[in-house]
Amino acid sequence: MPVHRSGTTRFAAAGALLTVLALLLTLPGAAATAADKPPRGSAHMGMGVEAHDGRGALPRDTRVAQTEGVDVSSHQGNVAWSSLWSSGVKWAYVKATEGTYYKNPYFAQQYNGSYNVGMIRGAYHFATPDTTSGATQADYFVNNGGGWSRDGRTLPGALDIEWNPYGATCYGKSQSAMVSWIRDFLNRYKARTGRDAVIYTATTWWTQCTGNYGGFGASNPLWIARYNTTPGTLPAGWAYYTMWQYTSSGPIVGDHNKFNGALDRVVALANG
C-alpha cells in the first residue's frame, strides 16, 4: 500500500533544506555572487591598496621639500576646493574616465574647481585592460577630459593601472600581454597630446601583473601607491617616484599624496 506524505511533512522537509542552504552560504569561502562586486564605473585610485598591501603609519617628516596633493573621483561628489587650498593642498588629479563606458559625472566641478582656486590639476583614467585595447581607452580618455594644454596649470594625464575590482587581479592577461596593453595606451596618449602619461600603480601589483617590467621608467613619471611611512621598494625601471599616494584617509578628502619636490617642480611637470 503506497505511503502518502502529509503536507506538514513536506513543508518541514523544505524548511530544513532552506536552513541548510542558508548555512552553506554563510560559510567562509562561499561563492561570491555578482552582487558582491562593485558596479562598473565605481573604481577609483587605490581602492585595492589596503586590501592587498595593508596600511601602516603616516609618513615621517623628513624635511625634504614635498608638495601636498589630492586625487578625487565621483565618490567625493562636489569637493570643497577652497578648504583644501587653505589646508595646503596645491595640486589635484581628477578621475575623468574608466574603460570606454564611464565618465565621471562630477568631473567639471572637480577639474575646474581645483583650477579656479589656484591648484595645478590633471585628469586620470582607470584602466580596464579586459574590456578594450589600450589605444581605444587612451582615445576615450583624451576625448573626455584627459587632454593636456600648455597653460602651466595642467598636468599630463595619468594611467591608473592596479588591481581589478571587478574580477581577476591581472584582468585575465599574461605579464607580456599586460605590458603590451600599457604600451599601447601610453603610445596613443603621447600621439594625441604630445605628453608622456604618468603611471599610477603599486609595486606588488606591477610585479605580479607585468613581471616587474622596467621599460617605462625612462619616460613616464611614476605615481606610487603605498599607505605607510615610506613608499618602499619601487617598481623596476624607476630610480625615484614623482608622486606618492600615502593615505586614503586624509583630511577633507581621503586620498592624499606627496609630490617629490617643491611647488616649482609641480609646475615643471605641468609645463613638460
pLDDT tens string 218-250: 999 999 999 998 899 999 999 999 999 999 888
> Per the domain annotation, does 161 fall within a domain?
yes
Which pLDDT belongs to residue 69?
97
pLDDT tens string 173-226: 999 999 999 999 999 999 999 999 999 999 999 999 999 999 999 999 999 999
Closest CA to 94 of 137, 129, 146: 146
What are the Cα distances from residue 112, in Å, to 61, 105, 119, 139? 31, 13, 10, 21
> Per the domain annotation, does 42 fall within a domain?
no
> Per the domain annotation, does 131 fall within a domain?
yes
135 has a pLDDT exceeding 70? yes
CATH at 71: 3.20.20.80
> Per the domain annotation, does 16 fall within a domain?
no
pLDDT tens string 94-105: 999 999 999 999
Dig out the grid coordinates for 74 from the structure.
565621483
CA angle 78, 82, 85 (to 5 degrees): 115
> Per the domain annotation, does 34 fall within a domain?
no
163 has a pLDDT exceeding 50? yes
Asked if 114 contacts 147 with a C-beta cutoff of 8 angstroms, the reply is no
Query: Residue 88, CB half-sphere, CA atoms under 13 Å: how many?
Result: 10
Which pLDDT belongs to residue 25?
38
State the residue range of the domain holding 179.
49-271
Percentage of the residues of the chain whose pLDDT score is greater than 70: 82
Q: Is the model more confident about 268 or about 24?
A: 268
Dig out the grid coordinates for 114 from the structure.
581645483
> Per the domain annotation, does 54 fall within a domain?
yes
> Per the domain annotation, does 8 fall within a domain?
no
| pLDDT, mean of residues 67-87 | 96
Q: Is 226 helix (H, G, I), strand (E, B) or coil?
A: coil
Which pLDDT belongs to residue 20?
43
Q: Total structural domains in the chain?
A: 1
What are the Cα distances from residue 74, in Å, to 44, 96, 251, 253? 9, 9, 17, 12
Query: Residue 68, CB half-sphere, CA atoms under 13 Å: how many?
Result: 15
Q: Which residues are catalytic?
A: 71, 160, 162
82 has a pLDDT exceeding 50? yes
pLDDT band at residue 11 under the 50/70/90 scheme: very low
Average pLDDT, the chain: 87
| pLDDT, mean of residues 3-25 | 44
Which pLDDT belongs to residue 23?
42
> Per the domain annotation, does 146 fall within a domain?
yes
Closest CA to 44 of 68, 71, 78, 69: 71
